[in-house]
Amino acid sequence: MNIYGQIASNKRKTIFLILGFIAFASVFGYIISLYFDFGLTGLGIFLIIFGIITYISYYNSDKVVLSLSNAKPAKKEQYPQLYSVVENLSIGLGQPIPKIYVIEDSGMNAFATGRDPKNSAVAATTGLLQNLDKQELEGVMAHELSHVQNYDIRLMTIVTILAGSIAIISDFFLRSLIFSGDNDRKNSNGIIIVIAIVAAILAPIAAGLIKLSVSRNREYLADASGALLTRYPEGLASALEKISHHPNISKASHANAHMYIENPFGEKARDFFSKLYSTHPPAKERIKRLRAM
């Protein structure tokens, strides 16, 4: 499949996943509302709370991520090649030049953050800058800038908050069963409570899987978009080969792992379950797709 075909395919997959995620969250919220006899009112409250949390996170997610990663503003005189690459690629995309940060870490990795092209930032580890040549660095930065251009950061912020909200509601509901003494309501709504318990147990797992699936699709999309920007897929493919051997970041957490260009915890066994719960597609598969373009 050529670059344009891959971009279109990944956009379609992401749209279906997001629509499914919203429908799934709405059904889950409604089931829990039925148990508490809130009906559609409870679902409305859930959606309002979700909207407020999303709004707050939307305007602060970049600051939180940069702080958690211990990223520091990069000085132009100290990192001239990084500045040159980011500035040239931004001009090619026709978007504002993002703020540029560096993470003091020997691991090789990078990420982009920000709610839109006007409020964005890219960060790279010192290990990445020391080990990649210019074409490889261009491939990596093109990938990250494509995340910004495709509004992937905004999308993943919303998906992460939605998945987290489902987990919180599930935990609240299960705890309420333990401490609640309202046995009459439990006995009169036997079918509903069974459905609610099953939903509360399975919903966080399903939400997490959908989140990871969206993350993997956006990585493929950014790979294809970045290759289209540089017109040189081999640059990113070669960079991913190097990065996949040393991607570990000391300051990485499960909360921001999906933002890095490669899993910051390193490659683990790629059996069925590890692939299912991975924030990134296998590096070998990404390299294979890039070299087939």
Per-residue pLDDT of the chain (293 residues; tens, 9 = 90+): 565 665 666 567 667 767 777 787 778 777 777 777 776 776 677 777 767 776 776 677 778 788 888 999 999 999 999 999 999 999 999 999 999 999 999 999 999 998 788 889 999 999 999 999 999 999 999 999 999 888 887 777 777 777 777 787 788 778 877 766 555 454 446 677 777 788 888 888 877 787 787 788 889 989 999 999 999 999 999 999 999 999 998 877 777 788 899 988 875 545 454 555 577 888 999 999 999 98
Domain that holds residue 74: 3-291
Instruction: Reply yes or no on whether 144 is catalytic.
Output: yes
pTM for the full predicted model? 0.77
Which candidate in 77, 87, 138, 144 is catalytic?
A: 144
Per-residue CA distances from 277 to 209, 215, 238, 266, 282 (Å)? 7, 11, 25, 14, 12
d(CA 131, CA 119): 28
- At residue 60's C-alpha, the angle toward residues 260 and 153, to 5°, is 35
Helix (H, G, I), strand (E, B) or coil at 119: strand
What residues are paired with 124 via a beta bridge? 102, 110
Q: Which helix (H) or strand (E) holds 111?
A: strand 110-116
Residue with tokens 């809130």: 38
Domains in the chain, number: 1
What residues are paired with 123 via a beta bridge? 101, 111
For residue 3, what are its two tokens? 């670059």
Residue 162 burial class via C-beta count within 10 angstroms: exposed 0-12, middle 13-18, buried 19 and up? buried
Closest CA to 218 of 15, 56, 60, 23: 15
Residue with tokens 């690459």: 85
Residues with Cβ within 8 Å of 170's Cβ and at least 6 positions away in sequence, in order, are: 28, 200, 201, 203, 204
Closest CA to 55 of 147, 154, 163: 154
DSSP of 21-32: HHHHHHHHHHHH
Residue 278 has what DSSP assignment?
A: -
Contact call for residues 258 and 109 (beta carbons, < 8 A): no
What residues are paired with 122 via a beta bridge? 100, 112
